[in-house]
Structure 1
Amino acid sequence: MPKNKKTEWQVGDPTISIVGDQFCNPYPMDLMVKRKVQSFSKDNYQVFDPSGNLLLQIDGQAWGINHKRVMTDPAGFTILTMRQKGMTLKNKWEVHGGESKEREDLLFTVHQSMAVSLKTSVDVFLAENNNVMNSNTCDFHASGGYSNISFKVFKSDALIAGVGVTHKFTWGSFCKGKCNFRVRVNPEVDYALIIALLVMVDDNEN
């Protein structure tokens, strides 16, 4: 008989800290993500806790040759930088701590799982994982995105974030280029990592 597989990261499970311990909480977090389109090729994201406190901001181009996203804290301090590498069928991103481009500051890389798919799916490899060509060795896997109204991140068989993405849609907000949605992050999971993955998956869809 096959062993029962764990399906969701829970209280008491090991902490998943990739960007920083300060982004991990011992309880589930429901984050409000606000996305605003500023121009044809530029938009930004703001992330709030349930009390309405600003936690993170993500700025940058939605697409382009030098595609880059920068995540900052409420004071404007750069937490990480996401850079898309080239224009290929299978998108690849490199994520560094702060504003760095140096190899020693690499946090993780993100590779699109399939070149053509109805749902965007990516594999995530931590900096110390060198076997990036073998999708079976990825550290995390994410799929879905904003337009799919679904977003999930897994570590092996365990769901660690993204029970669902629920749009709060009005015609007024749509005409202004504003969209809001919620993401649930499980206990002990780095929410900065989860938000970075959501943004990159969303950009890959676009």
Structure 2
Amino acid sequence: MATGQAPFNPVPAMRTYPPAEHPVVVIGPQYLAQYPVDLAVNSDFKVSDINGTLIFQVKSKLLSLHDRRFLKDAAGNTLVHLRQKIRTMHGRWEAFRGESKEKNDMLFTAKKSKLFQSKTELDVFLGNNKGEVPDFKVKEGYSKSSCSILLGDSNTMLAQVHGGHSLAIMPNVDYAFIVALVVVILDMIDADPSGKDYGDAVTTIFDTFIN
């Protein structure tokens, strides 16, 4: 070894995020796992685990005033009714339990953090949150199709989306809620004209399961 040469090449440190201290439940405790959950979204928006087992599926209905999607379990039971409010400045989505559209069944709402933004960033409010501080945040990662889902304004990681098709969900986080939120995220990316590199792919996904 030459004099003065370092005995090894240092490896850049990996940034780590603290896990949630308490279980995060939005849709139901039956969707909590004590271990990390990896899910994959295929071209017709069927969501499977690492063994290829169908876990969720999404159906869609397009109306004149609202764009509606339904998150269903593997048996076809509707878990969440997602409704986009078309005539809003921030592209707001509302999520209701089952097929309901009643305010008392609202699970969460999601909207752009800012009216004009260079990167995808969403504020997510639980149905009973009447304030201005979001319960969850979505922040774009290294590309338009990758993002992190965080607890409030903290660095507490709940899930990561990679390439729009791969979901890595932390333990004790409601993975049905994460999938429902990803439906909203993908739609907002598709609606963003700056996301042309990914928009065509998302459009193809949603076009395949429109009823």
Aligning the two structures, in what range does the TM-score lie when normalised by the shorter sequence? 0.7 to 0.9
Q: Residues 205 and 72 from structure 1, CA distance in 2 versus in 1: closer, same or farther, beyond 3 angstroms?
A: same
State the alpha-carbon separation in 2 of the partners of residues 47 and 62 from structure 1.
21
1:33 aligns with 2:17: no
- The aligned residue for residue 19 of structure 1 is 27
Q: Pick closer, same or farther for the CA change 1:93–1:149 going to 2, 3 Å.
A: closer
Q: CA deviation at 1:8?
A: 2.7
Higher strand share: 1
Match of 1:160 among 155, 158, 180: 158
**What's the CA shift for 1:89?**
2.7
Find the aligned partners of 2:139 and 2:179 in 1 and give their Cα distance: 13
Equivalent position of 2:182 in the other structure: 198
Deviation track 1:6-39 (CA, whole Å, cap 9, x = no partner) reads 82316xx311010011111011011111133xxx
Residue 125, structure 1, aligned to residue 122, structure 2: no
C-alpha spacing 1:64/1:34, structure 2 compared with 1 (3 Å): farther
Q: 1:149 aligns with which of 142, 145, 148?
A: 145
Give structure 1 stretches of 5+ with no counterpart: 1-5, 37-44, 168-180
C-alpha contact 2:126 2:135 (8 A) present in aligned 1: yes
Instruction: Tell me the residue number matched to 2:167.
Output: 183
Deviation at 1:103, TM superposition (A): 1.5
Match of 2:18 among 8, 21, 24: 8
CA contact (8 A) 1:143 1:201 kept: no
CA distance in 2, matches of 1:120, 1:89: 15
Query: Which residue matches 1:42?
Result: none
- Corresponding pairs, count: 172
The answer for the alignment partner of 2:203 in structure 1 is none
Q: What code does the residue aligned with 2:126 have?
A: L
1:101 alignment counterpart: 101
Structure 2: which amino acid aligns with 1:23? Answer: Y
1:61, distance to aligned residue in structure 2 (A)? 5.2
Runs of 4+ in 1 over 6 A off after TM superposition: none
TM-score (norm 2): 0.75
TM-score by length of 1: 0.76
RMSD over aligned Cα atoms: 2.1
Larger Rg over CA atoms = 2
